[in-house]
């Protein structure tokens, strides 16, 4: 199959390249409009009890959420001064007349002391918009934002819609900044790695194709499902990073085949039957791993899963289509514009000298020492994860000083009750006497400060419960559960919503499905790696290696982002919590990327095992031939994710730092030390499988050797060589 594919791409090389140019053009124009189609939130299950309670309140009494908060303050006047009063009430009245606005609340119509700062010099209005979804409310916010200024007062805009707008803006800025930083650095590194400007440019071209293709597919996805504003960064990271990884692997193998004396056509075909197979196995593994996120009923993860799978698919297809087509055009000119250090150096990889020969020989001689040493380091790195705490995303994901974040912090610090969390309790099927009795019962619970009826009808009421506890704490979640379990006098029903209730539902959803994710990812890895290498033990070992690698990276994440170490250096505010859906995303991405490097290494080891039948020689040769390319690929991928770690969104920074650390650990301690050492200890058992599975592999396995050898015997494609 892959020999045929290599011949077809070489024959149709100009058509393939024209199609790639078209994809880039559409992605840069229409696809980049995806930023206007992204959704906010998506961290909670829309079918959860807390979300259904919120929907029932909206259906019965209208939306209770505050979308926009306009904060007004003056150094000279207090909120009761006539000029201050007139300025704010004029804005509130104008807002109330606008079609985008459902309701406006202020101190002047409620006389609630919670609307006035403790020093009396600031107040705010709370605006609820009419939009049915995030996208519609985002457009409405854009329409009213410039009309919220009050004459003679300092105005600051916050609230959920403002936070979403700031996050969207920051996300776009982070992507542009990351690409402007990473692409030149990647080019310099690849010039150093390849020693040729032309060869170094080819992976970047695949990377640009992957990003633009990812934008196109993600925008198409927004027509059928919500895609979180945060997803676009992850899609860009995974698309660019894997495109460069795969292209590096393909270009390196192509140059190696040319240096061995093969024609361009022969080199293309053999590259596709070896490196091409590896890229396909790796890409399918990551795509199927990302599909595991669909097991969780969280729209945030669904959008990232779909977009991530699309980005990986484009990166994989670009490396299997556009790249070999480009190489077919370039031929030996892929080594054009050589650097001085490359001119006298052969492109063939010798395995009997140099760093990787000495390094691999040391691992082969003392495998037990390396195994115990590496495991001890990984266990030590993982230990902080034992005290991990989990919470959700709030305004602190934005950089300090961002206007919407400042407003939230001012409300919490300077306004009465601003530091209190709240729950909304819907009571139905009862009368007002029973509601009053329930209010007294809730008011007696621990941590409850006030219970205020906010809406009511003949047989329903909404109670606003203010409590003195961190809304993301165990105490707040337990309070939500306690209220939900209360018996309503007269036999009515009770439903609770609010952040603690939403978190409780989210944690329950994740906990129930996490074992299924582990089973799914393990089965996918076992099946694909068995089809690739015909071994039972190697896939099991790969899963174990992935677990220890991810565990070590999670320990470092807890140490940095939960405990707050390096917060000043990295520029973020530690909240003491980690968002669990982000960790799920990282588990899937890192599991796929770890398997990616495992496939790179084991493909070459299996090739040598089939040729020599000597396990130690196969492992040593595979390490020598892939050690440099794996560490180079890891370095390039670290640059990609590291560039996003420098962005302003905190949990995307966490994903970037966590992935960079995990990639470094995986490509050095795990793939270069632990994997070869354990393979040396296992010996021939590495390649063991029951007889019936051996027969299955012989017939259906994704093997490289046979087709590659057959491809060399076929006649050269006229016109493909250069």
pLDDT tens string 612-669? 888 888 888 888 888 888 888 888 888 888 777 777 778 778 888 888 888 899 888 8
- pTM of this structure: 0.80
pLDDT (mean) for 679-693: 89
CA dihedral of 579, 583, 585, 591, whole degrees rounded to 10: 180
Beta bridge partners of 156: 71
Domain 1-31+195-348+702-722 has what CATH class? Answer: mainly alpha
Contact 23, 210 (CB under 8 A): no
Q: To the nearest 10°, report the CA torsion of 540, 585, 382, 242.
A: 70
351-387+534-688 homologous superfamily: Multidrug efflux transporter AcrB transmembrane domain (1.20.1640.10)
**pLDDT of 95 higher than 80:** yes
Instruction: Please enumerate in sequence order all residues whose Cβ is within 8 A of that of 492, keeping only pairs 6 or more positions apart, or say none.
Output: 427, 428, 429, 430, 434, 459
Residue 718 has pLDDT above 70, yes or no: no
Q: How many Å apart are CA 240 and CA 248, to the nearest integer? A: 12
- What residues pair up with 427 in beta bridges, in sequence order? 461, 494
**DSSP classification of residue 200:** H
pLDDT at 377: 94
CA distance 434 to 489: 5
Average pLDDT over residues 223-230: 76
- In the β-sheet with 493-497, what is the strand arrangement from edge to edge? 448-456, 460-467, 421-428, 493-497
Q: Report the side by side order of strands in the sheet with 154-158.
A: 101-105, 122-129, 68-73, 154-158
Asked if 283 and 312 touch (Cβ cutoff 8 Å), the reply is yes
Non-local (6+) Cβ contacts of 645 within 8 A are 570, 653, 656, 657, 660
pLDDT tens by residue, 180-213: 777 788 888 888 888 888 888 888 888 888 888 8
In the predicted structure, residue 4 carries a pLDDT above the cut 90: no
> Is there a common fold for 351-387+534-688 and 403-503?
no
**407-413: long-range pairs with CB below 8 Å, 24+:** 407/69, 407/71, 407/124, 407/156, 407/157, 407/158, 407/159, 407/162, 408/158, 408/163, 410/71, 410/117, 410/122, 410/156, 411/69, 411/71, 411/124, 411/158
pLDDT at 311 over 90: no
Cβ atoms of 121 and 28 within 8 Å: the answer is no
**Residue 710 predicted with pLDDT over 60:** no
Model confidence band, residue 556 (pLDDT cutoffs 50, 70, 90): very high
What confidence tier does 715 reach under pLDDT thresholds 50, 70, 90?
very low
**Does the pLDDT of residue 90 top 90, yes or no?**
yes
Mean pLDDT, all residues of the chain:
85
298 in Cβ contact with 45 (< 8 Å): yes
Residue 613 backbone class (left: φ over 0; alpha: ψ -120 to 50; beta: rest): left
Distance CA 481, CA 425 (A): 11
Judged against a pLDDT cut of 70, whether residue 704 lies above it is answered with no
In CATH, what number does 403-503 get?
3.30.70.1150
What mean pLDDT is predicted for residues 689-702? 83
Residue 613: predicted pLDDT? 85
pLDDT-based confidence at residue 693 (cuts at 50, 70, 90): confident
Q: What is the CA radius of gyration of the chain?
A: 29
Q: DSSP labels for 498-518?
A: SHHHHHHHHHHHHHHHHHHHH
Whole-Å CA distances, 518 to 21, 169, 372, 544: 39, 35, 26, 12
pLDDT at residue 702 tops 50: yes
Q: What is the pLDDT of residue 40?
A: 66
459 vs 294, which has greater pLDDT? Answer: 294
With a CB cutoff of 8 Å and minimum separation 6, the contacts of 30 are: 216, 219
pLDDT tens for residues 20-62?
A: 999 999 988 998 888 777 776 677 788 899 999 988 998 888 8
Tokens read off for 646: 């420098």
Which residues, including other chains, have CB under 8 Å from residue 631's CB and lie 6 or more apart?
667, 668, 672
Once rounded to an integer, what is the mean pLDDT over residues 11-20?
92
What pLDDT, on a 0 to 100 scale, did the predictor assign at position 481?
Answer: 93
> For the chain, what percentages of helix, strand and coil (3-state, to nearest 5) are there?
70, 10, 25
Percent of the chain topping pLDDT 70 = 95
DSSP letter for each residue of 568-584: HHHT----S-B-HHHHH
What pLDDT, on the 0 to 100 scale, is given for residue 230?
67
Q: What is the pLDDT of residues 485-520, one digit of tens each?
A: 998 887 889 999 998 999 999 999 999 999 999 999
**Mean of pLDDT values over 447-462:** 87
From the centroid of its chain, how far is CA 466?
Answer: 34
Q: What is the mean pLDDT of residues 377-401?
A: 88
* pLDDT band, residue 378 (cuts 50/70/90): very high
The CATH number corresponding to 61-164 among 3.90.1150.10, 3.30.70.1320, 3.40.50.1700, 1.20.970.10 equals 3.30.70.1320
Asked if 534 and 527 count as a contact pair (C-beta separation under 8 A), the reply is no
Looking at per-residue pLDDT, the higher value among 73 and 548 belongs to 73
134-161: average pLDDT: 90
> Measured in whole angstroms, how far is the alpha carbon of residue 551 from the centre of its chain?
17
Pairing of strands 493-497, 421-428: antiparallel
What pLDDT score was predicted for residue 612? 86
Distances (CA, A) of 689 to 535, 695, 697, 704, 718: 5, 10, 9, 19, 43
**Domain boundary assignment for the chain:** 1-31+195-348+702-722, 61-164, 351-387+534-688, 403-503
pLDDT over 70 (residue 79)? yes
Residue 519: its pLDDT value, please? 93
Is the pLDDT at 2 greater than 80? The verdict is: no
Phi, psi (deg, nearest 5) at residue 347: -85, -15
Please report the pLDDT score of residue 155 as a whole number. 95
The pLDDT, as a whole number, for residue 274 is 84
Rounded to an integer, what distance in angstroms lies between the CA atom of residue 251 and that of residue 199?
7
Question: Percentage of the chain surpassing pLDDT 90?
Answer: 32
The partner residues of 448 in beta bridges, in order of sequence, read 467
- Quick one: pLDDT at residue 720? 40
pLDDT at 41: 63
């Amino acid at each position: 199959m892959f020999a045929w594919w290599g011949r077809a791409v070489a024959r149709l090389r100009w058509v393939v390249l024209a199609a790639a140019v078209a994809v880039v053009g559409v992605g840069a124009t229409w696809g980049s409009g995806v930023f206007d189609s992204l959704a906010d939130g998506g961290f909670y299950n829309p079918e959860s009890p807390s979300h259904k309670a919120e929907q029932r309140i909206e259906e019965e009494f209208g939306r209770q959420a505050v979308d926009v908060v306009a904060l007004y303050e003056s150094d000279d006047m207090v909120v009761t001064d006539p000029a201050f009063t007139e300025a704010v009430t004029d804005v509130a009245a104008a807002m109330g007349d606008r079609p985008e606005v459902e309701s406006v609340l202020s101190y002047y119509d409620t006389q609630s002391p919670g609307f006035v700062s403790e020093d009396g010099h600031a107040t705010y209005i709370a605006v609820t918009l009419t939009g049915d979804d995030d996208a519609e409310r985002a457009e409405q916010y854009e329409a009213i934002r410039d009309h919220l200024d009050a004459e003679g007062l300092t105005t600051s805009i916050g609230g959920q819609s403002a936070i979403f707008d700031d996050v969207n803006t920051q996300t776009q800025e982070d992507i542009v900044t990351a690409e402007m930083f990473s692409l030149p650095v990647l080019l310099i590194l690849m010039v150093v790695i390849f020693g040729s400007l032309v060869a170094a440019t080819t992976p970047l071209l695949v990377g640009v194709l992957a990003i633009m293709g990812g934008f196109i597919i993600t925008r198409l996805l927004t027509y059928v499902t919500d895609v979180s504003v945060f997803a676009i960064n992850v899609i860009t990271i995974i698309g660019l990073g894997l495109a460069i990884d795969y292209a590096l692997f393909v270009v390196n193998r192509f140059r190696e085949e040319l240096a061995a004396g093969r024609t361009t056509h022969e080199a293309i075909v053999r590259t596709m039957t070896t490196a091409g197979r590896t890229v396909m196995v790796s890409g399918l593994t990551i795509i199927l791993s990302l599909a595991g996120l669909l097991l969780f009923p969280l729209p945030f993860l669904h959008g990232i899963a779909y977009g991530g799978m699309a980005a990986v698919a484009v990166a994989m297809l670009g490396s299997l289509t556009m790249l070999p087509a480009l190489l077919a055009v370039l031929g030996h000119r892929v080594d054009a514009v050589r650097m001085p250090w490359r001119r006298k150096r052969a492109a063939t990889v010798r395995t009997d000298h140099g760093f990787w020969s000495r390094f691999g020989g040391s691992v082969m001689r003392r495998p037990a020492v390396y195994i115990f040493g590496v495991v001890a380091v990984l266990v030590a790195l993982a230990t902080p994860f034992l005290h991990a705490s989990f919470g959700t995303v709030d305004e602190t994901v934005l950089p300090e000083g961002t206007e919407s974040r400042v407003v939230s912090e001012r409300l919490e610090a300077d306004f009465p009750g601003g530091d209190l969390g709240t729950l909304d309790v819907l009571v139905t099927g009862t009368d007002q006497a029973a509601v009053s009795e329930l209010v007294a019962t809730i008011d007696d619970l621990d941590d409850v400060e006030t219970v205020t009826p906010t809406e009511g009808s003949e047989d329903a009421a909404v109670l606003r419960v203010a409590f003195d506890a961190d809304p993301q704490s165990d105490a707040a979640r337990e309070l939500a559960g306690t209220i939900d379990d209360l018996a309503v006098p007269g036999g009515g029903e009770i439903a609770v919503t609010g952040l603690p209730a939403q978190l409780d539902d989210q944690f329950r959803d994740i906990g129930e499905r996490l074992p299924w994710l582990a089973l799914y990812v393990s089965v996918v890895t076992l099946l694909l790696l068995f089809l690739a290498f015909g071994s039972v033990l190697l896939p099991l070992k790969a899963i174990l290696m992935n677990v220890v690698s991810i565990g070590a990276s999670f320990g470092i994440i807890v140490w940095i982002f939960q405990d707050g170490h390096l917060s000043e250096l990295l520029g973020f505010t530690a909240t003491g919590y980690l968002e669990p859906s982000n960790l799920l995303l990282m588990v899937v991405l890192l599991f796929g990327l770890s398997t990616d490097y495992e496939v790179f290494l084991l493909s070459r080891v299996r090739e040598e095992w089939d040729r020599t039948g000597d396990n130690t020689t196969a492992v040593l040769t595979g390490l020598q031939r892939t050690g440099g390319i794996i560490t180079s690929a890891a370095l390039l991928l670290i640059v990609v994710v590291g560039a996003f770690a420098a962005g302003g969104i905190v949990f995307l920074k966490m994903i970037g730092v966590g992935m960079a650390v995990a990639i470094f650990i995986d490509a050095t301690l795990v793939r270069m030390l632990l994997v070869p050492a354990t393979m040396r200890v296992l010996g021939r058992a590495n390649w063991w499988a029951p007889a019936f599975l051996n027969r299955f592999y012989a017939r259906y396995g994704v093997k490289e050797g046979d087709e590659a050898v057959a491809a060399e015997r076929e006649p050269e494609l006229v016109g493909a060589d250069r």
